[in-house]
């Protein structure tokens, strides 16, 4: 079923969602419309207006919508050749302690992958994983993964996990820490100062202005010489203008001011 609505209905729904705490203004509209349309279908709402009325009464529905709209696809060692680049950068530039921010980390696979590589290199680290979706972060904090989540983890990295019941559990790190906190890259100030920001497959969902604002915000959290690690399919054509140089595929180095 395709639900008919006009631009006024759409704007009214966006305003109502905003007041309820669901901030969608950064997203590309066509994609958001597709996703919201399929949520309406799935939940059986005949109109945007009816969905909004029900959302005011039903917190569970609200959380379901939030989780549905923010796409959480992730995996350990996602796009392996790029993690080789990460490894090479970290290995060649030992620091007293790597401060790393995984922004838009979903259930944490990316933050954990960074931790596993640093641990393997014997380098000290603090990884902060953030996401705007509190529900998915709960899963990240548990550090328990289904067997299928580990499908693409190379054998050599599996010693980082141990079987606990029907789940795999992340073993404690010796050289570093991993923590997760709620954070919205569009609305919030960066949660600290970092040597590297990993923000992969997040800003591709944002329209040009929002994407640019987020890139500026991520850049502001980096020390001079800090690295920005973007997704495999993301371009950063304006990297020079924003004070970065390409260091390796998908990894950009912030030039000194
Ligand atoms: C496709 S996942 C990418 C996960 C991981 N970075 C990776 O590449 O495997 C996108 C994540 O970005 C999060 N996200 C979307 N909008 C966000 C925002 N404004 N602030 C923070 N996180 C956001 C979503 O909740 C989702 O978990």
Q: Is the pLDDT of residue 1 over 60?
A: no
What mean pLDDT is predicted for residues 238-243?
96
Could you write out the DSSP letters of every residue in 154-205? -GGGGGGEEEETTEEEEPPPSSEEEEEEE--TTTSPPSS-EEEEEE-SSGGG
What mean pLDDT is predicted for residues 174-183?
98
Q: Is the pLDDT of residue 137 over 80?
A: yes
Question: Does the domain at residues 80-254 carry the CATH identifier 3.40.50.150?
Answer: yes
Ligand 1 geometric centre to CA of 185 (Å): 9
- Between CA 41 and CA 34 the distance in angstroms is 11
pLDDT in tens, 144-163: 999 999 988 889 899 999 99
Mutate to test the pocket of ligand 1, among 68, 106, 199 (most ligand atoms within 8 A of CB): 106
- Between CA 34 and CA 30 the distance in angstroms is 6
CB neighbourhood size of 113 (10 A): 24
Which residue puts its alpha carbon closest to atom 27 of ligand 1?
A: 106
Helix axes 48-57, 29-43, angle to 10 degrees: 70
Helix, strand, coil shares, percent, the chain, to 5: 45, 20, 35
Ligand 1 geometric centre to CA of 129 (Å): 11
What mean pLDDT is predicted for residues 94-116?
98
22 DSSP 8-state letter: -
Note if the pTM is more than 0.95: no
SS3 99: strand
According to DSSP, the residues that pair with 41 across neighbouring strands are none
Q: Is the pLDDT of residue 127 over 60?
A: yes
Residue 125 tokens, joined:
């680290």
What mean pLDDT is predicted for residues 117-121?
96
The pLDDT of residue 4 is 78
Which residue puts its alpha carbon closest to atom 5 of ligand 1?
A: 105
* CA 77 vs CA 111, 125, 146: distances in Å: 10, 18, 16
**Domain edges within the chain:** 7-69, 80-254
Beta strands (DSSP E) in the chain are 98-103, 125-131, 144-145, 161-164, 167-170, 176-182, 194-199, 222-230, 244-248, 251-254
The pLDDT of residue 154 is 87
Name which of 33, 29, 37 is nearest 3 in CA terms.
37
Residue 68: pLDDT band with limits 50, 70, 90:
very high
Of the listed ranges 53-62, 149-158, 186-195, the least confidently predicted one is 149-158
Cβ proximity of 157 and 77 under 8 Å: yes
The pLDDT of residue 257 is 66
- Between CA 35 and CA 13 the distance in angstroms is 14
SS3 123: coil
Within 6 Å (CB) of ligand 1, which residues are found? Answer: 26, 70-74, 78, 104-106, 110, 131-133, 136, 184-186, 200-202, 231
Question: Rounded to the nearest 5°, which phi and psi values hold at 154?
Answer: -60, 145
Cβ proximity of 43 and 69 under 8 Å: no
Name which of 201, 245, 202 is nearest 224 in CA terms.
245
Cβ proximity of 66 and 95 under 8 Å: no
């Amino acid at each position: 079923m395709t639900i008919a609505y006009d631009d006024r209905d759409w704007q009214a729904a966006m305003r109502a969602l905003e007041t309820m705490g669901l901030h969608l203004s950064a997203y590309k509209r066509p994609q958001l419309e597709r996703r919201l349309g399929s949520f309406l279908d799935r939940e059986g709402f005949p109109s945007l207006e009816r969905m909004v009325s029900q959302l005011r009464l039903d917190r569970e529905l609200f959380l379901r919508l939030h989780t549905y709209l923010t796409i959480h696809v992730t995996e350990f060692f996602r796009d392996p050749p790029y993690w080789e680049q990460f490894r090479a950068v970290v290995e060649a530039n030992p620091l007293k302690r790597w401060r790393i921010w995984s922004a838009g980390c979903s259930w944490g696979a990316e933050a954990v992958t960074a931790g596993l590589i640093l641990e393997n290199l014997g380098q000290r680290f603090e990884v902060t994983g953030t996401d705007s979706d509190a529900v998915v972060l709960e899963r990240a904090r548990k550090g328990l993964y289904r067997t299928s989540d580990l499908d693409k983890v190379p054998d050599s990295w599996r010693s980082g996990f141990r079987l606990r019941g029907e789940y795999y559990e992340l073993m404690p790190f010796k050289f570093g820490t991993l923590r997760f906190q709620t954070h919205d890259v569009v609305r919030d100030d960066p949660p600290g100062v970092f040597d590297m920001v990993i923000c992969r497959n997040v800003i591709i969902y944002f329209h040009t202005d929002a994407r640019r604002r987020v890139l500026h915000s991520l850049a502001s959290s980096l020390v001079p010489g800090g690295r920005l690690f973007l997704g495999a399919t993301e371009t950063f054509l304006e990297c020079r203008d924003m004070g970065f140089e390409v260091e390796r595929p998908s990894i950009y180095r912030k030039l000194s001011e």
